[in-house]
Structures are given as structure tokens and as C-alpha cells.
Structure 1
Amino acid sequence: MDKRLLDILCCPVSKSPVSLLSRPQLDAVNAAIRSGDVRTVAGAAVGTPLAAGLVTTDGKVIYRVDDDIPVMLADEAIGTTQLSSFPA
């Protein structure tokens, strides 16, 4: 992802800056998705593992990145409190 774009993106709800998910974070969320345990903020089941994602600096919200395009929609975000082993 372009560094300039990443520098200006923020969570649309909290206005908190975001950063790319680390490999351990991405692996943890994808393991939970594969086990069927992940829902969006709106309550929809997440069925497809993430190729990439953005996480707020407080580590509470994940936004998926599809084809290098960040999907910064609040209803499609994933709250990390539902992930039992999400690395900080």
C-alpha cells in the first residue's frame, strides 16, 4: 500500500490513525475467520480470509484491504475484542 495513502487514512468512527496489520495479526484474524468465529461490526459473518488489513493504533478495529483498496466502512469493520488471541 502506498505510504502516502496510509499516512492520511484514519478510522471513520474514532478518527484514530491506522497501520497495516502485521503478519502475526493477519494470521490470527484469518485463523478466526476460517473457524467461523468472526463477525463485522454490523453482525455479518466474515467468510473470506483477509489478504491484507488495516488496524487502528489502539488495536480495536480492523478494516480489510481488497486489491490494495482500503474498505473504510464502519459497518464492515471487524472488532478485535471478539478475537481471543489477537496480538497487540
Structure 2
Amino acid sequence: MALDRKLLDILCCPVTKIPVRPLRRDELARLNDAIRAGELRSMDDSPLTEPLDEGLVTRNGERVYPVEDGIPVMLEERGIPVRQLGIGG
């Protein structure tokens, strides 16, 4: 499900205030591969076990926020640090 352009224009990381954009397919695939391999944890240190259907990445490529049932989950503790995956930017 594509997010509304107006919503995307106002969403930003709750911590850094950097704008976000939807993950591309290749980025989502890399992220999900890392989740399946047990390599990622959310900002609250919870292990990630379920692949994402959608996500929003900060424009600097540091964090991904999940989109669940078409709703962006823009909570600091649910952010996923992804700089090491080379996503975003």
C-alpha cells in the first residue's frame, strides 16, 4: 500500500527530525535478509524476528521505521538502526 504523498511530506524521524521516504524494493529486501539472519534489533534492543512489508527510511540512511497495515510507526523505540546495511541516503 502506497502512503499518501502529503503524509510523506510531513513525516520525519521523531528523534532527529530528518525527513523520511519509503524504502525501495532492494532496500527492503536487504533489510529483511538481515532480519531473517537475526542481525538487527530495534532501538529499544528488541530482536527483530518478522520481515517488514513496508518501511520508511530517514534521508540520511540511519534509521528505518516500520509501516504496519499502511500506518507508519514513528516511535523512537521501534526505529531500526540500519546504517551498516547501506540503506537510504
TM-score when scaled to structure 1?
A: 0.92
Question: Residue type matched to 1:14 in 2?
Answer: T
For 2:43, what is the secondary structure of its paired residue? coil
Measured after TM superposition, the shift of residue 37 of structure 1 is: 1.1
Percent of aligned positions that are identical: 47
Give unpaired runs (5+ residues) of structure 2: none
Name the TM-score, length of structure 2 as normaliser.
0.91
Measure the CA separation in 2 of the matches of 1:14 and 1:30.
Answer: 24
Which residue in 1 is equivalent to 2:36? 34
Q: Quick one: which of 49, 60, 63 aligns to 1:61?
A: 63
Runs of 4+ off more than 6 Å: none
Which one of 33, 42, 49 corresponds to residue 51 of structure 2? 49
- Per-residue deviation, 1:87: 3.8
CA RMSD of aligned residues (A): 1.1
User: 2: CA distance between counterparts of 1:52 and 1:10?
Assistant: 16
